[in-house]
Amino acid sequence: MDIQTKTSLKKLLVWIPALLLFASCSGNHDYSPKPRGFFRIVFPKKEYQTYQAGCPFTFAYPKYAVIEPDRAPKAKPCWLNMQFPQFNGTLHLSYEHILSKKEFNELVEDAHKLSFKHTVKASSIDQGTISYPDRKVYGVYYTIEGNAASSVQFYLTDSTRNYIRGALYFNTEPRLDSIQPVLTFVKKDVDAMIKSFRWK
């Protein structure tokens, strides 16, 4: 290899790293952390219809929800699932015909235990009384805050013959920051259902 070739090779070896460094620095690369992004949610218009099938109760529910019988192996008559397909959520409704005061007390205690089962993940659980004496609709509404699997649970009863329990679940990882807008929207539908609820 002659001297001229060696000199050219040295110049080339000096310029290649310089060119690579220049290429990597060109352009506007912003690597600062960005806040977590979520999909934009388009909420439907709130319009309600009446559920009045062969069960001993009626209530208003949104037109964008679908009510189906609960198909679980141990499901009883008038156990229903109010599906919210666009939100991947379900309000599970479990009806019981009360046969004794003892059974009534057990159902109320079960509702309390099932709601407080979420204490591990919940930041707080608040109870509110439901009372519509003119319709003989009484009960308790549980608001479960935090990353619990269920954020809303309740029961309604006439205190003598009828009892129904509701529990709202979303089929996704319970992250309150991501489902909060949907939860707020669906909670209004649960409230509308309770306010319109009547025993037959």
pLDDT (tens digit, 9 = 90+) per residue, 20-36? 666 555 555 555 665 55
Nearest to 162 by CA among 88, 77, 82: 77
Return d(Cα 85, Cα 20) in angstroms, integer. 52
- Check: CATH 3.40.1000 for 57-199? yes
Nearest to 194 by CA among 23, 58, 14: 58
Residue 76 has pLDDT above 60, yes or no: yes
pLDDT at 7: 61
Q: Give the contacts of 117 (CB within 8 A, at least 6 positions apart).
A: none
pLDDT (tens digit, 9 = 90+) per residue, 133-184? 999 999 999 998 877 778 899 999 999 999 999 999 988 765 666 778 889 9
């269920």: which residue's tokens?
150
Nearest to 119 by CA among 142, 93, 92: 142
**Surface-to-core class of residue 200, CB atoms within 10 Å of its CB (0-12 exposed, 13-18 middle, 19+ buried):** exposed
pLDDT at 151: 86
SS (H, E, C) 170-196: ECCCCCHHHHHHHHHHHHHHHHHHHHH
Of the two residues 18 and 159, the one the predictor is more confident about is 159
> Average pLDDT in the 74-81 region?
96
Phi first, then psi: what are they for 126, rounded to 5°?
-110, 145
Domain boundaries along the sequence of the chain: 57-199
pLDDT band at 66 (very low <50, low <70, confident <90, very high): very high
Nearest to 78 by CA among 194, 178, 164, 191: 164
pLDDT at 50: 97
pTM to 2 decimals?
0.76
